[in-house]
Structure 1
Amino acid sequence: MLAMNKFRILGIAVVTIAASIVTTSCNDKRSTGWEYAPNMYEKIAFDPDQKNPNFKDGKTAQLPPAGTTPVGFTRFDYPKTTEGYNQASIEVKSILFNTSKNIEDGKALFMTFCSPCHGKTGQGDGTVVAHGFPAPPSYSKGQSSRGGAMKDLTDGKIYHTITYGLNAMGSYASQLSPEERWKVVMYVHHLQTL
């Protein structure tokens, strides 16, 4: 009999606790319960398009200070002009060592991005020429549209051309990173000797 009373008391206690949990958890439908880190749910940062009293002009999205360079960005401060092209020819030199690995990488990039117009050997006989487009000059025999022999193009001239484009050639700055452009420059120098 004593054991039955213990089970009855234990059963009543369990039912009471369960009922109180159910009752208290169903009161406020909008409550998410306890928050361990409320700053993860209620942000204190301003959205870029919101007004911000912390700045004089009231804008959250601010321009970076003049002369700064974003992380991972390589600056190329030569304008897309003939003067910039000629200045790059004098001042810009390759930042990579001339290794067989870099030349092989340059060859792979050249075959992907450049050979459709310039041909596999840089003679200006790519597949687009077969479709009626004008042929680019040969790297070893032709003349540059900005003067001088193509075989004498410098690092700076080739890099400037890849970055900005020239004549019918568009810019490849969005397709090739600065390091990849330098690898293509190395491979073009190899093709100039053929």
Structure 2
Amino acid sequence: MLAMSKMKIFGVTIVTAAAAILATACNDKRSTGWEYAPNMYEHIAFEYDQKNPNFKDGKTAQLPPAGTIPLGFTRFDYPNTRDGYNLASTEVKNPLAMTQTNYAEGKVLFEHFCSPCHGMTGQGDGLVVQHGYPAPPSYSKGQSSRGGAMKDLTDGKIYHTVTYGVNAMGSYASQLAPDERWKVIMYVHHLQTL
């Protein structure tokens, strides 16, 4: 009998606790309960397209201050002009060491980005040419549209051309990072000797 009354008391306690939890949990439908770190839910930062009273013009998205350079950005201070091309020819040199690794990576990059037009050996016989597009000049035998033999192109001239493009060749600055351009140039110098 005593055991039965203990079971009854225990059962009533469990039912009462469950009813209390259920009653308090359903009280406010919008409540998410306690917040451990409320600043994670109520962020105070402005979205880029929101008005922002902290700036004179009221815009959140601000232009960077004049003269700043993005992290990881490499400046190339030669304009996309004939004078810039000629100046780059004399002043710009490949900053990377001529190593087997850099050369091998340059070859792979050339095959992926340049060979569709220039061909695997730089003779201007890529797949694009086979489909009727004009052929670029051969690196070893051709003449540059800017004057001089292609085999005599310097680091600076090639880097300028890859960065800005020339004639039918567009800029590869968005496809090849500066160090990748230098690796390609190492391989192009090899193709100039073929």
TM over 0.5: yes
Q: How far did 1:134 drift?
A: 1.8
**Cα distance in 2 between the residues matched to 1:47 and 1:130:** 50
TM, length-normalised to structure 1: 0.94
Q: How far did 1:192 drift?
A: 1.1
Q: How far did 1:56 drift?
A: 2.0
Alignment-derived partner of residue 124 in structure 2: 124
**Cα distance in 2 between the residues matched to 1:183 and 1:48:** 38
Superposition pairs of residues 84-95 of structure 1, within 5 angstroms? 84-95=84-95
Paired residue type of 1:71: L
Alignment-derived partner of residue 191 in structure 1: 191
Q: How far did 1:79 drift?
A: 1.7
Alignment-derived partner of residue 153 in structure 2: 153
Alignment-derived partner of residue 69 in structure 1: 69
Paired residue type of 2:130: A
CA RMSD of aligned residues (A): 1.3
Alignment-derived partner of residue 51 in structure 2: 51
Q: How far did 1:127 drift?
A: 2.3
Specify every segment of 5 or more residues in structure 2 that has no aligned partner in the other structure, as ranges: none
Count of aligned pairs between the two proteins: 194
**Cα distance in 2 between the residues matched to 1:8 and 1:135:** 95
**Cα distance in 1 between the residues matched to 2:29 and 2:45:** 27
Paired residue type of 2:32: T
**Cα distance in 2 between the residues matched to 1:123 and 1:11:** 90
**Cα distance in 2 between the residues matched to 1:3 and 1:143:** 106
Alignment-derived partner of residue 78 in structure 2: 78
Paired residue type of 2:6: K
Runs (4+) of structure 1 moved beyond 6 Å?
none
Q: Which moved more, 1:93-102 or 1:51-60?
A: 51-60
Q: How far did 1:11 drift?
A: 1.6
Q: Partner of 2:89: helix, strand, or coil?
A: helix
Q: Partner of 2:132: helix, strand, or coil?
A: coil
Q: How far did 1:44 drift?
A: 0.6
Q: How far did 1:2 drift?
A: 2.7
Q: Partner of 2:60: helix, strand, or coil?
A: coil
Alignment-derived partner of residue 180 in structure 1: 180
Percentage identity across aligned positions? 78
Q: Which moved more, 1:83-92 or 1:12-21?
A: 83-92
Q: How far did 1:172 drift?
A: 1.2
Q: How far did 1:73 drift?
A: 2.0
Q: Partner of 2:22: helix, strand, or coil?
A: helix
- Alignment pair present for 1:33 and 2:33: yes
Alignment-derived partner of residue 170 in structure 1: 170
Specify every segment of 5 or more residues in structure 1 that has no aligned partner in the other structure, as ranges: none
Q: How far did 1:33 drift?
A: 0.6
